[in-house]
Structure 1
């Protein structure tokens, strides 16, 4: 299947950080999440599609996010960890090449993701616990990130929005 087939057949819509998504599940109950200062589902899950030229731009969540690879081209997650170190992890099924089928982005990590420019698309699921809420989501601009992490300039310039 190609990008547009996935988007149509799965009912995906554009995500504010980039790519396309659809919420698929959330817990039946909610609770008061101290770190969010509000009511949250215990978990939420989305299908998430990235395509060449349509990355997920640098952002941060205040909860862990689990990523699960499903289909298509490998997806690379770029992380600026809480201690300022940079890491990439590629989701896919070519284990011999170092790809992994799942990965956890820890809370507080600034991260973005993409497929290669020569790729069509990659399909993953993302599960956030406690559940995702836009109040727990922070999107970054190139200027904000370059001021703090100039050593990661090429990735920031490619994967962060110029303006919000």
Structure 2
């Protein structure tokens, strides 16, 4: 069984500003002008992303869709707050009989965070963004910002806000 430390070392993963570890693997060869970003973007970007039970991905938002693909480890729970303030949770994992999914799309403008809830465990996923990821299209939220808009999600925001 491959451990978190082995994945981090062998895949060359680095700490991610939103939490966890990552490495960008691919992006399209060409770029185009993305009006919603007001700038040139790759057509897609793809990363490996590893979370563990003590390093969640904190609440953030992208202005493009992001596809998540489960690879290994424990399930990863994605917490989503849509543009209307509705909350949804999805578990990525291999146990499809228990409702886990192998893939999930986080739609653009959704505020979301993700975590591994099994203690002393990790989850390895890939994430693909189209048009490609750029930090100009990324917003990381503080707990105070989120609590002002979503007070009914206090426990979740306290746990996964930055």
User: Which residue of structure 2 aligns with residue 97 of structure 1?
Assistant: 98
1:16 matched residue in structure 2: 17
Alignment partner of 1:49: what SS? strand
Which residue in the other structure is 1:158 paired with?
159
Structure 2 equivalent of residue 107 of structure 1: 108
TM-score (norm 1): 0.97
What does 1:1-164 correspond to in 2, within 5 Å? 1-161=2-162
User: Conserved in 2, the CA contact under 8 Å of 1:53 and 1:117?
Assistant: no
Distance 2:128 2:100 in 1: 19
Give the RMSD, CA atoms, in angstroms: 0.7
Cα separation, 1, equivalents of 2:3 and 2:152: 35
Write out the 4+ residue segments of structure 1 that deviate beyond 2 Å after TM superposition.
none
Q: Which runs of 5+ in 1 are unaligned?
A: none
Counterpart of 1:82 in 2: which secondary structure? coil
Figure out how many residues of one structure are paired with residues of the other and give that number: 161
Distance 1:117 1:80 in 2: 23
TM (norm. structure 2) is: 0.98
